[in-house]
Structure 1
Amino acid sequence: MEIKERVGIAVYLYYNRDARKLSKFGDVLYHSRRFNYLILYINRDDQKTVVSKLKQMKIIKKVKPSAFDDIDRSFVGNLGNHREESVI
Structure 2
Amino acid sequence: MFQKENRSGLIIYLYYNRDAKKLDHYGDICYHSKKHRYLQLYVPTEEVEELVSRLGKERFIKKVRRCHIQELETPFVGSLYRNSENVIM
TM-score band w.r.t. shorter chain: 0.7 to 0.9
The TM-score, its normalising length taken from structure 1, stands at 0.83
Structure 1 segments (4+ residues) deviating >6 Å: none
Unaligned stretches of 5+ residues in structure 1: none
Change (3 A) 1:78 1:60: farther
More helix by share: 1
Unaligned stretches of 5+ residues in structure 2: none
Larger gyration radius, structure 1 or structure 2: 2
Alpha-carbon displacement from aligned partner over 1:31-81 (angstroms, at most 9, x marks no partner): 11111001101000111111111111111111111111222222121636x
2:16 alignment partner in structure 1: 15
The TM-score, its normalising length taken from structure 2, stands at 0.82
Q: Is the 8 A contact 2:8 2:70 kept in 1?
A: no
The one-letter amino acid paired with 1:6 is R
What is the percentage of aligned positions where both structures have the same residue?
42
2:6 alignment partner in structure 1: 5
Change (3 A) 1:53 1:78: farther
1:67 alignment partner in structure 2: 68
2:52 alignment partner in structure 1: 51
Change (3 A) 1:67 1:78: farther
The reply to whether residue 36 of structure 1 matches residue 40 of structure 2 is: no
